Amino acid sequence: MKFGVVVFPGSNCDDDTVGVIESLGHQAVKLWHKETSLQNCDFIILPGGFSYGDYLRSGAIARFSPIMDNVIKHANDGGYLMGICNGFQVLVEAHLLPGVLLRNNSQKFISKNIYLKAATNQSLITQSLDLNKAYKVPIAHAEGRYFADEKTLEDLKANDQILFYYCDENGQVNDVANPNGSLFNIAGICNAGRNVIGMMPHPERAADPDLANIDGLEILKQLVL
């Protein structure tokens, strides 16, 4: 499988993402935001960072980068697309995923390890994850508080589109384990077609034995099973 990692001005997790994909034995190329070609990539990833300095709203300007027309077409045609942190913000700005990502309820940037658990096995990225395991993965965001109206939340639940919840180290989903105030502790979702994935935590930053944590690698391995 060939992966394309889009690079916006301000992206800072592109090299991490490429490195993990290559460590899994698959080709990964960088796609510059001003280009339009997806270089025949099968799977597109929008990485973390601070695209365009997070001016206006995080992801709001990147959504209009030249490459995004073909990224959106790729997703609408059923191609796989994943956004991590800032990439998730771009996906909601592009209306490829429902809801919005608001400022953390603390009104502060948060960078720390958290725990999350898979909510379902009915998606590519969670297909064989242990639903009872708490995976330790870092977050680094100021606008990560997932919010949606009641109808959207009902649809997400009914369609099994919630992929990850913030939890404690024992796998308990509760307010104490919620780092940013996301509704229902939501840390990741997918679209109704299940080919567009967004998550705020950074699995690519927990994918190297030298960091003494490969929980993120276990998550990203799901993409290539």
Catalytically active residues, by annotation:
85, 202, 204
Distance from C-alpha of 35 to C-alpha of 16, rounded to nearest angstrom:
21
Tens digits of residue pLDDT in 90-101: 999 999 999 999
pTM > 0.75? yes
- The residue-averaged pLDDT of 144-150 equals 98
Q: Describe the strand order of the beta sheet including 2-7 as a list of residue ranges.
A: 27-32, 2-7, 43-46, 80-84, 196-199, 186-190, 162-167, 110-118, 135-141
Domain that holds residue 147: 2-224
Cα maximum dimension of the chain: 45
Distance from C-alpha of 86 to C-alpha of 62, rounded to nearest angstrom:
10
Identify the helix (H) or strand (E) that includes residue 135. Answer: strand 135-141
Q: Name the DSSP class of 103.
A: P
In this prediction, residue 173 has a pLDDT band, given cuts at 50, 70 and 90, of very high
Q: Name the DSSP class of 115.
A: E
For position 42, what pLDDT does the model report? 98
- The residue-averaged pLDDT of 52-56 equals 89
In this prediction, residue 48 has a pLDDT band, given cuts at 50, 70 and 90, of very high
Overall domain count for the chain: 1
CATH number at 40 reads 3.40.50.880
Question: Residue 224 pLDDT > 90, yes or no?
Answer: yes
Tens digits of residue pLDDT in 57-112: 899 999 999 999 999 999 999 999 999 999 999 999 999 999 999 999 999 999 99
Question: Residue 127 pLDDT > 90, yes or no?
Answer: yes
In one letter, which amino acid is 82?
Answer: M
Q: What is the mean pLDDT of the chain?
A: 97
Q: Is 40 exposed, middle or buried (0-12, 13-18, 19+ CB in 10 A)?
A: exposed
